[in-house]
Chain A
Amino acid sequence: MPRPGFVLDVDRSTPPTLFWHGEGFRLERLPTGSRIIYPPEPLDALPDPDEAIRRALLEPIDSEPLPALLKPGMKLTIAFDDVSLPLPPMRQPDNRQRVIEAVLDMAAAAGVDDVQLIAALALHRRMTEAELRHALGDRIYDAFAPHGLLTQHDAEDPAGMLHLGTTDEGEDVEINRRAAESDLLVYVNINLVAMDGGHKSVATGLASYKSLRHHHNVRTMQHSRSFMDQHRSELHSSNWRMGRHLKAAGVRIFQIETTLNTNQFPDQFAFLQKREWEWKAGDRARYLAVTKSLERAPERLSRRIFQSMKAPHEMTSVQAGEVEAVHAVTTENVYRQQMVEVQGQTDILTMGLPYICPYNVNSVMNPILVMCTGLGYFFNLYRGQPLVRAGGVVIMSHPTPWEFSPVHHPSYIDFFEQVLAETTDPLEIEAKYEESFATDPWYIHLYRTGHAYHGVHPFYMWYWGAHALDHLGGVIVVGGDPASVRRLGFKPASTMRDALEMATDVVGRDPSVTHLHCPPLLMADVKA
């Protein structure tokens, strides 16, 4: 029986706490009286995931069984989450492979010939063949890719997009034409965090810049408190309006959502899954071996080691059917795995940031992604109210190197060099620079033909942290490259002790400190 998460009150006998630090770790001793939020242990996996998938398809929620929706001569499109999920990438077979194979089996039995697969990557980079093969498996790839039936969403293809009108609030709804014109669109999700899935799958994953800008903007993000809680998230409200508009426009969606447990690391990194005082001699030996090796290894090698790590994630639930009904069940299952109740806010929130976020799989975690991971994702891992009080301080631990992947993140480089050199204010950035980056033909070319994120993507990363920037009194990065940390508008600190001392200038003497203990993933249910 997995143990639930809990909040530890640090006392003199609490051992040092593990912090992610990019492609490495730090052991930090937090002040006595601090709180550490420990995540629940990984839930038990489904005993037979393939049978669970089959049952979900045959007994969907608020929908006819999938076989009843499949007819000869129909046009079937299967869209699936891109390389940004799950994190780290899971060991094969991936959930997408299991689910899509089950769907294709039923489609074959029903005699459906016109089937196309689309990677729903919105404005993310295109996946490589290796990444597609990993997510879908060789059987699917070899059956569909050679015939041009495995495609990747292209939001900048004028002929490939279809405008379906606007919502009641005037939001453009424009999605992939093939998906919109299909008799049935099956969307296959991996719901790693509560933000994923629901109407966001199609309304974001298969949309264009014209459509996305209605919810991927500063105002929406500042009114999403948090975007992990769909009932208090303007991001989700907008997506839900678009999703309902799609339904009204005749787009028939059969949603399949899967959840994972937090078994995120292989055996050699098993210590990442454990509470520090429960580390056995083997865990300590592995920790020392890993950290000492990484300290001596060249940066590229460290990155390769971490990026090649495949998570032993296991499926904890699968549900299919009508989008909203399915997503309600999925969200409960995500919360069941990740939610920890926390009493009250804190003056200072500390967090260790990992080597990976949704946008640097097989790539470099550049400074903008460090900001997005810390102030976008980790800060928003709450329900109720933010973990840190208004005017409080976030202390993040990450090396924050001034380093970018020119292949994956070309527009990020210019955003960092030009835009952030001018201002870090999200509203000013949005008003002054977004349009030019979003419509830049070179970025569009790289997005469509290479493996580059769209020109506007770094703006979205910055907006992702807009709520935190609006809420916080200061951000300090421990162990980060001072130049890139200052460029982000944050303060660099050499040690955690220095950072805590610096934070008292903002929050006053004797502050309360709370640490968000990731890994593995957790979400705080913050009570008043």
Chain B
Amino acid sequence: MRLRAGFPYGPPTWPGSVPRPPIERRTGVDFETGWARRYPARLARAVFVDQMLRPVVRALVPPHVHGIDRLESLEGPVIFVANHQSHLDTPLLLSALPDRWRHRAVVAAAADYFFDTRLKGTLSALVLGALPVERGRVDRRPLEQARALLDDGWSIVIFPEGGRSGDGWAQPFRGGAAYLAMHGGFPVVPVHLEGTGRVLPKGAKRPSRAAVHVTFGSPLRPREGERTNKFSDRIEEAVAVLADEQATDWWTARRRAAMRTTPSLAGPDAGAWRRSWALERGARRRPVRTWP
């Protein structure tokens, strides 16, 4: 039985004949995260990420990071775009980011999942530097907020699939990252995360140990006259090439890319069991090297 203190010790009841005013939303996309980018919160986050998150990630899933050299000449705010299979993706990617971006990056996070309560929102903003975005409907406010942050020198991590993959294959990329890049002229760095779906897939309660790979691609910029959806497709293809590079080797991936035969991130257009079969047994598996 739940005991509730009566008024005035507890909150008052609301008379039935008085219409309730619309509740002022302070969760979801309206959650205020500006405080999480001020120095006290940044310091706390930097300490947390460097002293706790990275050691735990390294111990749990030792990441193999590839392609860092492709970012050598890159400066300023960047949009990191990655595929998304697991809750582990954000800590893994934050751990793998080079120092110059790691402590000045925000992560676009689903408002309805990470900011549905004030406690979750506060922890997400403080620990991950998360920024709430709507994934169910078009809302320009988060995009404008993200644009302002990029202008202010912050980098953004975006998982453009809008949520974790349900079966291990990627979902279509949405255009938010491309939109930001088109309207602000910021470079997009494609990132492929491999293996997190095996460590902590969607629906799993406990992680299992497995090797994971983080592959950074070459920065992409919109071409002259390129439309947002075309640029978004190009970003998705770049992540697919990185996936292929991880599954095969760089040269094979480049040749398949040139011939436009790179395996799709979305997997075969087939029934559920065949998609699972292809994921576990098929094209995405690294071929066994016989020699040397």
- A→B interface (CB under 8 Å): 8-16, 27, 276-279, 281, 284, 287-288
Contact = CB atoms under 8 A, between A and B. Distances in A.
A16 B17 contact: no
A288 B9 CA distance: 8
Nearest to B10: A284
Contacts of B16: 11-14
B23 to A, nearest CB: 13
B11 interface: yes
Contacts of B59: none
Interface of B: 7-9, 11-18
Contacts of A13: 13-16
B8 A14 contact: no
A277 B12 contact: yes
B18 A15 contact: no
Contact of B13 (A277, A284, A287): A277
B242 to A, nearest CB: 52
A59 to B, nearest CB: 40
8 tightest Cβ-Cβ pairs between the two chains A and B: A15-B12, A14-B15, A284-B8, A13-B13, A277-B12, A11-B16, A15-B7, A277-B14
B8 A11 contact: no
A9 B17 contact: yes
A13 B16 CA distance: 6
A279 B15 contact: no
Contact of B8 (A8, A12, A288): A288
A11 B9 contact: no
Contacts of B8: 16, 27, 279, 284, 287-288
B11 A14 contact: no
Nearest to A281: B11
Contacts of A16: 7-8
A168 B8 CA distance: 58
Given A13-B16, A27-B8, A279-B7, 7 more contacts: A8-B15, A8-B18, A15-B7, A16-B7, A27-B7, A279-B11, A279-B12
The CB with the most chain A CB atoms within 10 A, among B7, B8, B11, is that of B8
Contacts of B11: 279, 281, 284
B17 A11 contact: yes
A276 B17 contact: no
Contact of A11 (B7, B12, B15): B15
A75 B42 CA distance: 72
Contacts of A288: 8-9
Contacts of B13: 13-15, 277
Which of B7, B9, B12, B17 has the most chain A CB atoms closer than 10 A to its own CB?
Answer: B12
